Structure formats: C-alpha cells, structure tokens
Amino acid sequence: MNMQPPRLGRRPAALLALVATLALPLAGCSEEPKVYQGWVEADLIFVAPDEVGRLQTLAAKEGDHVEAGAPLFTLDDDLQAAEVNMYKAQLENAESAFSRADTLLKTRTGTQKAYDEAEAALRTARARLVTAQTRLDRRRRVSPVTGTVQQVYYRPGEIVPADRPVLAILPPENLKVRFFVPEALLPSIRHGERVRVGCDGCVAGLTAKVSFIARQAEFTPPVIYSLEERHKLVYLIEAKPDDPEKLRVGQPVDVALGTPAPAKAAEARK
C-alpha cells in the first residue's frame, strides 16, 4: 500500500533538495571520506519588551559585541513610574491602617477581624508595589547572553508591540552546521563525532562535533515509499563548530565525514 511521504515542514523543497544532494568521494578509492553539502544556521536570541511602548534609547547596533547584562534598549516609562508612585502611597496608607488596628487590638478596643483585614490589605499593597516596580524595571532591557547583535528591528521613536523583538543576538555556541546523509550511512555516525568543515574562503582545518541526529527520515525529492526508492531517504545531521567565529550564518559548507584529527584548540576546549 502506498504511503504519503513525510512533510518537509517549513524548509523550501528546493533548498532541501540542494543541501541533501550527495557528493561523490573526493577520490576514487573507498578510503577517501565522502563530502556532503550543508549550510550554517543559528539559534538567535530575540530580545523583546513585555509590554507595548515607544523605544527611547538603543544602546547597540548590528555587529556590536555585547556582554551578558549589558544595556540594550529602554522604552518610555511614564505610566509605569506613575503606577509605582500610586502603589507607594497605597502602601503607606495600608501600613498606617495596620498600625492602628494592631494598637487597638493590643489595648482591647479593636477586633481581631479588623486586625486581619488590615493585615491582608497591607500584604496586597506590598504585592502591588512589587509588581509595579517590576514592570518599571523591565522597561530597561539588558542582554541575556554574550554574543553579537545580528539584527535590529526597531529604531528610537518607533512603537514596539508587546513580545516583538527589538533586536536579535547570536551567542557563538548557538551556531551549527546542518547537512543530510543517506540512510545507509546513518549507523556509522555517532553523537559527539567530529566532522571536517570546509567552505570558500574558510581557513583550513575547521571541525565540528555532531550534536543532533534526526530520528525521522525525509525524502528528497518527495517520492512514494518503495524498495527501489529507499536509497533516497536522508537524515538531518547537526554539528556544533569548534571555531564558530570563523563561520557565518547562511554560509554554504562542505562536510566531510570520517575521523579527523582534532585541532589543538578544539582539544583544549573539551
């Protein structure tokens, strides 16, 4: 019975077909490693405000290196500051009311009920002030990671919707090489294995460590399952570069499988 091929998800079919094309061995002998086409991808960190606001300051631009905790941007905070002042006043009133209820209860001229109500009102006032102060503090965003600013989406003076990123940061460790291998080769690839990575203009000797091996096969191009077409099954592999600063997002690369001798720098980072 014919079965429908697995969906390709969000990857364009043309791109998948390109990156999954199997290259021939570098030489005619079987000892030479096989080379597969791939590309560099990254998991960006998007920094966004919790609430809508007008962007006031922007402390980083595209290409800047930022450390974790460094200021990134601020939003207008007039409303949040006013809310903090309001809840500070309410807290002062609640503290006075609680103090009176406590005094009356100790002198037996007040009731336990009045005391409990004043105590509950005081706890509520404190919680509201903490919430308002948190909202005010979050109008100033700092970098959650160390990395490079890849993209800036808003400029000072523009309105930023809630949860819409103002900028994107790339930590070096979030860079990865993605490529596809045929089904027959899958059993020989191990998690943590090193592969060689090459590209036009790259320095020689780049390596990456296999960090992900897909459990689900994909067809390229989509075909119907059959014994004759099984060789077209490919599996996605991801590898973490040992020197991510020497690669760029979207860069096409050649990945050679085998047992490359790790560079000294790579060994030192183990």
pLDDT tens per residue across span 196-252:
999 888 888 999 999 999 888 776 544 444 455 556 678 899 999 999 989 988 899
pLDDT for the residue numbered 11: 44
Instruction: Spell out the domains of the chain, with CATH numbers in brackets.
Output: 13-43+172-268 (2.40.30.170), 45-75+139-170 (2.40.50.100), 78-137 (1.10.287.470)
pLDDT for the residue numbered 113: 95
pLDDT for the residue numbered 45: 96
pLDDT for the residue numbered 200: 86
Q: Tokens representing 264?
A: 């000294």
Q: Tokens representing 204?
A: 């020689």
Strand 159-160 and strand 53-58: the pairing is: antiparallel
Largest CA distance in the chain: 101
pLDDT for the residue numbered 86: 97
pLDDT for the residue numbered 33: 67
Strand residue runs (E) in the chain: 35-42, 45-47, 53-58, 65-66, 71-75, 140-142, 147-152, 159-160, 167-170, 175-182, 194-198, 206-213, 218-219, 233-241, 252-256
Spans of the chain below 70 pLDDT? 1-33, 219-232, 259-270
Helix (H) or strand (E) holding 83: helix 78-106
Strand residue runs (E) in 97-205: 140-142, 147-152, 159-160, 167-170, 175-182, 194-198
